[in-house]
Amino acid sequence: MSQPTLETILLTADQIRDRVCDLGRQIAEDYPESMDLHLICVLKGAFMFLADLVRAIDRTVTFDFMAVSSYAKGTTSSGEVRLVKDLDTGLQGRNVIIVEDIVDTGLTLSYLQEILRARSPRSLRTACLLNKPSRRVVDVKVDYIGFTIEDRFVVGYGLDYAEKYRNRPDIGILQ
Ligand code: IMP
Ligand code: MG
């Protein structure tokens, strides 16, 4: 492997795949085919999770993308969330699941939930691959969680440090 080595691999590609399949099965069970289901991928961090998750949901789904910026270039939250790219279509009357990479302080997710709820979806849930509960500053509800992890800055499987490491198939801590 020619990518820089990570200090610790927290989650292997196999572990991630198994868990994402569980989440996909769970979501397919919770939403019968008679309900429409619309997923919203939060760019860029959740792109890989979304791609694997939709393939694990054995029913019709639609999805869309939005982008927010909450972190500058480092590893600490600025506390400020900005909408960078909006959705292509409205959410009125639809069953929506927000698909996020990680919930850390919760600021990004609570902002997203607030602005999307204002668009009158029939239902709004959230799926996060990773959860770092020790860093939470706002209470935010997450309906589907892949893994709960310690307070370490992680990269890989969509997650970056200064835009790098997103293409790693596993998740780990930087050296
Ligand atoms: P929050 O607003 O503090 O919950 O931060 C959420 C966003 O910060 C996530 O969508 C990620 O883009 C980024 N983030 C938080 N923790 C990490 C991490 O450990 N690695 C990479 N990005 C992170
Ligand atoms: Mg993100």
Q: What is the pTM of this model?
A: 0.94
On average, the pLDDT of the chain sits at 93
- What does the pLDDT look like over 15-53, one tens digit per residue? 999 999 999 999 999 999 999 999 999 999 999 999 999
Which structure tokens are listed for 64? 């869309």
How far apart CA 173 and CA 84 sit, in angstroms, is 27
Q: Which atom of ligand 1 is nearest to the CA of 137?
A: 3
Q: Is 113 in the pocket of ligand 1 (CB under 6 A)?
A: no
Residue 79: pLDDT band (50, 70, 90) is low
DSSP string, 39-53: EEEEETTTHHHHHHH
Band the pLDDT of 174: cuts 50, 70, 90. confident
pLDDT band at 10 (very low <50, low <70, confident <90, very high): very high
Q: Does 108 contact ligand 1 (Cβ within 6 A)?
A: yes
Q: Could you tell me the distance, in angstroms and rounded to a whole number, from the CA of residue 34 to the centre of ligand 2?
A: 31
Q: Which residue has the tokens 């309900």?
A: 35
The first and second tokens of residue 169, run together, are 């198939």
- Choosing from 11, 75, 102, 109 the residue with most ligand 1 atoms within 8 A of its CB, the one to mutate for a pocket test is 102
Question: Over 90: is that where the pLDDT of 81 sits?
Answer: no
Residue 152 Cα: closest atom of ligand 1: 19
- Per-residue burial over 87-125, b = 16 or more CB atoms within 10 Å of its CB, e = otherwise: eeeebeebbbbbbbbbbbbbbbbbbbbeebeeeebeebb
101 catalytic residue (yes or no): no
Instruction: Kindly give, in sequence order, each residue whose CB lies less than 8 Å from that of residue 32, ignoring residues fewer than 6 positions away.
Output: none
Average pLDDT over residues 93-102: 98
> pLDDT-derived band of residue 76, with 50, 70 and 90 as boundaries?
low
With a 6 Å cutoff on the Cβ, whether 141 touches ligand 1 is no
* pLDDT score for 78: 57
**What would the pLDDT profile of 56-73 be if each residue is shown by its tens digit?**
999 999 999 999 987 554
Q: What is the pLDDT of residue 172?
A: 96
Instruction: Pick 142 or 80 by higher pLDDT.
Output: 142
Question: How much is the pLDDT for 75?
Answer: 58
* C-alpha 42 – ligand 2 centre gap (Å): 6
> Would you say the CB of residue 157 lies under 6 angstroms from ligand 1?
no
Nearest ligand 1 atom, CA 46: 10
Question: Mean of the pLDDT values across residues 133-157?
Answer: 96
